[in-house]
A and B are shown apart, each in its own frame.
Chain A
Amino acid sequence: MRKSTLLFVFMVFTAFSIIAGTPDQVNDFTLPAVDGPEQSLSDFTDHKAIVVMFIATQCPISNAYNERMVELYNDYEEKDVAFIGINSNKQEDVAEIKKHAEKHGFQFPVLKDKNNVIADRFGATRTPEVYVLDKEFNVLYHGRIDNSRQESKVKSKDLRAALDEVLAGEPVSNPETKAFGCTIKKVDK
């Protein structure tokens, strides 16, 4: 009885750890793009790295990064890095996301994650929150774009640093970072 109880506690603890932590690897997925056909993660495996960014239209913090996301895309797309934006917020519909992407000049695809299925798979909880994946979808970096929503106060360009290391074939020296952001508004499950 005691052994089975311990086993149960262990299983619950293990399951929680997996849910709460950053996954080592993610599975392929397919989501509708807000301005075109469905796209899969596997559509981007011809790139050296894939940046998945959980973003929002109404979050002031995510919006503070709109220009920086465009700059990142411009700087790294030519270095063979793919960028994908994902919107998992339940209250932000496709038309709003499409308009927002056009307004801010996002050249990267923005996908709608209805019912936050993909956000849950990644363990994403806030916007903006980014993941850098390799071709096998191993998570090489997870966290913030940089350390400050106010661009003038940025001291640590974490995503750029991670991408530079990945492109140089080096391990990411700081693979997990955090920052304040807006909670992803998820559906009740």
Chain B
Amino acid sequence: MKKLFVILLLVIACSGGDQATRVAVDTLDADGLKKLITERDGRVLLINVWATWCVPCREEFPDLIQTAKVMEDHPVDIVALSADYPTEIKDKVRPFLKNFQVNFPIYVQNFDRQEALINFLDKTWGGALPATFIYDEQGRKHVSLMGKHTSDTFVREIFSALGNSEQKKSFVNFDEMVHRPVTDL
């Protein structure tokens, strides 16, 4: 009976752990990225390019989660596009992601030439990570943010991309909203 109880505990622990580590990760090729940017349907898009080997990217990741929390009721899509290889999803990308309650889609680049991805996002960008690109509701580039940034910057730029829309006007106290703890949102 005791043995059965231990086995039952192990099964529960294993299944629980598996659920916690299951984060949807898709690959994204050139066509997919183009579609993501151009088919905006009135929504702003933030693309954060990161990699598991990139220390500032890992440090920045909680700010993306915070940004997604702050913007969850607004017409904004946030995606993280990893520069890792698709073959590294299982051993590198997923183990990193399991440390977070990820609340936005995760992609891993699947370009034939990574240089094409860099130039597609910004011709003046050399490929230094992290880098974040924000597009407006029409899929037009609003800003390229090089290096590590905070959720404050992301949210401000998203609002700027939203322009004079009603969503922006509705926020009377922007700073209070941005700095509110995630747990209160």
Contacts and interface: CB of A to CB of B under 8 A. Distances in A.
Nearest to B131: A183
Interface string B36-78: 0000000000000001011110000000000000000000000
Contacts of A184: 128
Contacts of B127: 126, 178-181
Contacts of A177: 115
Interface in B121-138: 124-130
Contact of B114 (A20, A58, A147): A147
Contacts of B124: 20-21
A180 B116 CA distance: 11
Contacts of B55: 58, 182
Contacts of A45: none
B114 A179 contact: yes
Contacts of B56: 182-183
Nearest to B117: A180
A126 B54 CA distance: 12
Interface string A154-189: 000000000000000000000001111111100000
A125 B128 contact: yes
B53 A61 contact: yes
Nearest to A158: B115
B126 A129 contact: yes
A178 B118 CA distance: 8
Contacts of A105: none
A179 B128 CA distance: 8
B85 interface: yes
Given A178-B115, A178-B126, A183 B51 contact: no
Nearest to B85: A150
A147 B116 CA distance: 12
Nearest to B53: A60
B114 to A, nearest CB: 6
B83 interface: yes
Interface string B67-111: 000000000000000010100000000000000000000000000
Contact of B146 (A60, A153, A181, A183): A183
B119 interface: yes
Interface string A112-143: 00000000000001100100000000000000
Contact of B129 (A58, A129, A181): A181
A182 B128 contact: yes
Nearest to A184: B128
Contact of A182 (B54, B113, B115, B125): B54
B115 A183 contact: no
Contacts of A147: 113-115
A181 B128 contact: yes
10 contacts: A126-B126, A126-B127, A150-B85, A153-B85, A178-B115, A179-B114, A180-B51, A180-B127, A181-B127, A182-B56
Given A20-B124, A178-B115, 7 more contacts: A147-B114, A150-B85, A178-B125, A178-B126, A180-B51, A181-B128, A182-B129
